Copies of this chain bind each other. A is one copy, B any other.
Amino acid sequence: MTQIPIFSAEQIDYFMQVALNEAQLADEAGEVPIGAVIVKDNEIIARAHNHREAHQLATAHAELVAIESANHILNSWRLENTALFVTLEPCIMCAGAIINARIPTVYFGAADSKGGGTRSLYHLLEDDRLNHRVEVHPDIRASEGGRLLQDFFGKIRKKRQSKK
Contact = CB atoms under 8 A, between A and B. Distances in A.
A101 B117 CA distance: 16
Contact of A92 (B60, B61, B68, B124): B124
A115 B91 contact: no
A131 interface: yes
Contacts of A77: 52-53, 56-58, 60
B131 A115 contact: yes
B115 A58 contact: no
Main secondary structure of the interface of A (DSSP, over half): loop
A85 to B, nearest CB: 18
Contacts of A64: 59
Contact of A68 (B59, B61, B67): B59
Contact of A93 (B55, B78, B96): B96
A13 interface: no
A67 B59 contact: yes
Shortest Cβ-Cβ A-B pairs, 3 listed: A93-B96, A92-B96, A58-B101
